[in-house]
A and B are shown apart, each in its own frame.
Chain A
């Protein structure tokens, strides 16, 4: 089809707000300067597991310049982003469960005094034996009180167990030509956004609590604060300033937000808590350290017969998003290939570590790596080109998976073809000299979780528009701009409908007093849901302008089109008028134009337990190819080039989509080649590398060239046909590297990160196996 001719949609316009960012004027939470602001600091547990025997803050409180100190007892009600696992206290109450868990909060005149006060807080701990990893957490615990969370239903330290079975997997495997199996291990990794978390809380003289916080989920923060602090939501105002990256790491309500609030409620002065980098690592809720066993069967023609996944993930001390992760490790492997027989067991364990949670590509990334490597093994056994076999197995568009996911638009085959042809795949795969390789992998990801986190009938995203006599279009939404460009999407959607350019649009998405609810920036939901809500609101406004145009010039409402700030009569162009003229008429006897639009996901999915996990109104697809070479003496992997194709339905802003894809490549390369949350049994529950020096993210020098291909499958329910482009593009990069390494040196790396040392070990093992 020919793409419709749009004026704003599909144009690579710079990000809304980018001028402030490049000139240094953009305000992030720590940049706010509210007179009288105190410095808040958090005293943290040095023990991974301990009882708090005594906690005495009196000496610290007596220090001049200290204005308030709060402890766990001041806010005993636990919270958590998921209503089903509200298990985290603002501060440890009678016990602490990880190194770095908050124990007390201090508000003082300056950092120096706060640090001095911290030394004066007396805490007596009784250390208990910590649980170091998920396997250890599986051991039965005789006395429930000795569990990390005594209240859980399991007799060990498991937090969540998920089991699903569709079709008849044992039969399918027994009849398969080949079943590729593997045990895969993954280090935990961190989001490593550049802006440390920060929150400023101010309990004003009217008894209202204002919080400015670097958060992806202002609404969930709003709810959690209300519960923990015992204030009605109406007395809390959440403001989200510019956020310096999130990637899932700012998508929970956090203790420091509660602590800053408790402190300001105590002393009625604004309190700022900004983390240092180590605190960011302690609080990050990164990707779960995981062990995943996967088996993939195929018939002799390369048709997939079944998929078995068993995932054990290390959740750390608290729930966070972990219940969702427990599902996603399995259910998000339902695409892009048709799987008729499927079995999944997912287990999440509590351990005495900082918690894991949601990170870009939530739950899907690690399983995807295993699945795509085993897929290649099947292709090799069958003797078929892996690209060809992927095309053969691709889910069609507009179908339903065995676990009742509704698939709509699907551009995966086009993605595969694009990267295959551009990369010279057919001339390279299996034909490059030893040490050089090329690998392919695909992706499948939700474009917004169809279910909100909490039970509600309120729409998932609402957008308000107001236009007054100056003609500027004010758009309100609580959708969280975290750098991904959601404000730009919002502006473009409204501008397109009203026939204006984006300079007319004023996006206001910071303040919960002004903006209607959007559930936040997680699960790649914003473009799809907020975009649809924005279109609806803008169409309502356009209708009002149309009627005004008819009143002024006659004609039918259907006669008018809106473009270039004009309201054009397509039947009689002489009746055309400017946008401002139509607006003037519309405002008469009416006052400012207002409109509201909302999005609610359709009812989807099956009736079985856990059917809601992974449901999305639509899914994104993709395919990447990586070419690399391995220094077989050192084990270093050198990336030559990436070809990245992603089906985002429609690129509302190709520049932003390209940025997302390249950014995903960067982040995924980090996980596959170097990043790890380094725990050592001797480090007593400490992360060994809580700094940007020791936790390595790729620098510009490691980043290979990336050719980006945007595939537009035009989703029927997406805003202008759009789907997500923020998380799905991360998935294929890891296994495309893994498959390329196999092509280069003949070993399938089953442990991430793939370090130079592990490459050498694998090469040696291969050599021994042969001799």
Chain B
């Protein structure tokens, strides 16, 4: 497979990168590790004539436990001893992103920006042409929901749900300077729009409040295999606990909606309660209740909804010490 032709730009600074993106607008994409974008380009999915490579922007690469440059390599963050000590849920969640090989070049920012996915979209040009495309590619109709006006492709990153529950925010650089947005408000509905980045804007870093270190957190990922596979469900829970007493908690779901999906509203009634198997189950049911999941990834919506309840329960048991916090964030 050959990539569709593009001009490659290799800026040295964030400002240069932003200037290039401002100049080329919708005719340009940023690329960091390339593990998502280049796959899509090989399938001729929304390829642009200009690609701005971020690998040469040194500012993006550094990280510590309070801020992670968007260009920090997944494997570097995962193996960092400070990270493992202070925020073990982050290395655990990175550990289940795709494969060991892919994490060598994949970046934290890249995982946050990973394109939404759908069976009818993540296919070759030949394949898409044979079904006359879809809303997100060359077509004008959604193949998942009959008559849908908005794309329902699924947000399929692993890190965003985790970082959102930890209260992270992101720094965005743009032509008018920098702004900070809570990560929970970064994503926007519609599998095509996806996020709040405006013209020329670039995700620069992720800030993690130091308070997050005092919270217990867990991430569990549903997928067929323990490597390669995107999540078909990710459940992230972060909680302030006193033993099994739940003082505060955040729940965020990945891979069930076009954006990471906060379910904090569904669990407010459980704050202040003691968590045992039964309450954890109730929380799981509450989080799963009313979810609309579309049939456009590997496992069926009915099953994934069931697993929302099971995984949420398990996450709450994890954070209240009923189960050992998983070394890897598996199931």
Contacts and interface: CB of A to CB of B under 8 A. Distances in A.
Q: Direct A–B touching in the complex (beta carbon < 8 Å)?
A: yes
Contact of A757 (B2, B303, B310): B303
Interface stretch (B126-134, B197-205, B207-215, B247-255): B126-134
Contact of A634 (B126, B131, B227, B310): B310
Interface in A707-764: 755-757, 760
Contact of A47 (B130, B143, B227, B307): B130
Interface of B: 1-2, 99, 119-120, 122-124, 126-127, 129-131, 143, 222, 224-230, 298-300, 302-303, 306-307, 310, 331
Interface string A239-272: 0000000000000000000000000000000000
Contacts of A636: 331
Given A278-B126, A690-B123, A699-B227, 16 more contacts: A47-B130, A112-B2, A276-B1, A633-B310, A634-B222, A634-B307, A635-B303, A674-B225, A686-B130, A690-B127, A696-B229, A698-B225, A699-B99, A699-B225, A701-B226, A757-B303
Contacts of A690: 123-124, 127
Given A634-B331, A696-B229, A757-B300, A686 B127 contact: yes
Contact of B303 (A631, A698, A760): A760
Contacts of A223: none
A682 interface: yes
A636 B123 CA distance: 28
Nearest to B298: A694
A634 B230 CA distance: 18
A664 to B, nearest CB: 19
A428 interface: no
CB-CB nearest 4 A-B residue pairs: A46-B130, A757-B303, A701-B226, A699-B227
Given A276-B1, A682-B143, A46 B126 contact: yes
Given A46-B130, A278-B124, A684-B130, A757 B302 contact: yes
B212 to A, nearest CB: 28
A238 interface: no
Nearest to A635: B303
A225 B126 CA distance: 28
19 contacts: A46-B130, A99-B130, A111-B2, A634-B222, A634-B307, A634-B331, A636-B331, A674-B225, A682-B143, A683-B119, A684-B131, A690-B127, A692-B228, A693-B229, A694-B122, A699-B225, A699-B228, A701-B225, A757-B299
Contact of B228 (A111, A686, A693, A756): A693
A299 B227 CA distance: 47
Candidate in B2, B124, B224, B230 with the most chain A CB atoms within 10 angstroms: B224
Contacts of A46: 126, 129-130
A508 interface: no
Contacts of A701: 225-227
Contacts of A700: 227
B235 to A, nearest CB: 12
Interface residues of A, number: 38
A690 B303 CA distance: 23
Contacts of A635: 303
A691 to B, nearest CB: 8
A278 B225 contact: no
Contacts of A689: 119
Contacts of A208: none
A82 interface: no
B131 A683 contact: yes
Contacts of A100: 126
Contacts of A641: none
A41 to B, nearest CB: 11
A99 B129 CA distance: 11
A118 to B, nearest CB: 9
A13 interface: no
Contacts of A99: 130
A278 B130 CA distance: 14
Nearest to B42: A276
Contacts of A115: 2
B143 to A, nearest CB: 7
Candidate in A635, A689, A699 with the most chain B CB atoms within 10 angstroms: A699
Contacts of B225: 674, 696, 698-699, 701-702
B96 to A, nearest CB: 11
A44 interface: yes
A688 interface: yes
Interface in A42-63: 44, 46-47
A631 B330 CA distance: 13
A278 B127 contact: yes
A103 to B, nearest CB: 12
Nearest to B310: A633
B224 A674 contact: yes
A754 B102 CA distance: 29
Nearest to B5: A112
B229 A760 contact: no
Given A633-B310, A634-B310, A755-B299, A702 B226 contact: yes
Nearest to A45: B130
Contacts of B222: 634
Nearest to B299: A757
Candidate in A686, A702, A760 with the most chain B CB atoms within 10 angstroms: A686
A337 B163 CA distance: 58
A100 B123 CA distance: 14
Contact of A756 (B99, B124, B227, B303): B303
Contacts of B123: 686, 690
Contacts of B302: 757
Given A99-B130, A698-B225, A688 B119 contact: yes
Contacts of A44: 126
A693 B222 CA distance: 15
Contacts of B227: 699-701
A698 B130 CA distance: 30
Contacts of A685: 130
Contact of B331 (A276, A631, A674, A694): A631
Contacts of A757: 299-300, 302-303
A749 B119 CA distance: 27
A689 B232 CA distance: 15
B55 to A, nearest CB: 24
A688 B121 CA distance: 10
Interface string A602-641: 0000000000000000000000000000010111100000
A690 B126 CA distance: 12
Interface string A274-312: 001010000000000000000000000000000000000
A100 B124 CA distance: 12
Nearest to B146: A682
A680 B307 CA distance: 23
Contacts of B310: 633-634
A111 B3 CA distance: 11
Nearest to B127: A686
Nearest to B220: A634
A694 B122 CA distance: 10
Nearest to A688: B119
A237 B307 CA distance: 57
A362 to B, nearest CB: 26
B264 to A, nearest CB: 24
A364 B78 CA distance: 46
A686 B131 contact: yes
A100 B230 CA distance: 27
A693 B229 CA distance: 7
Contacts of B2: 111-112, 115
Nearest to B143: A682
B44 to A, nearest CB: 10
Interface in A669-687: 674, 680, 682-686
A226 to B, nearest CB: 31
A684 B126 CA distance: 13
Contacts of A111: 2
A276 B299 CA distance: 26
A699 B226 CA distance: 8
A674 B298 CA distance: 11
A573 B175 CA distance: 94
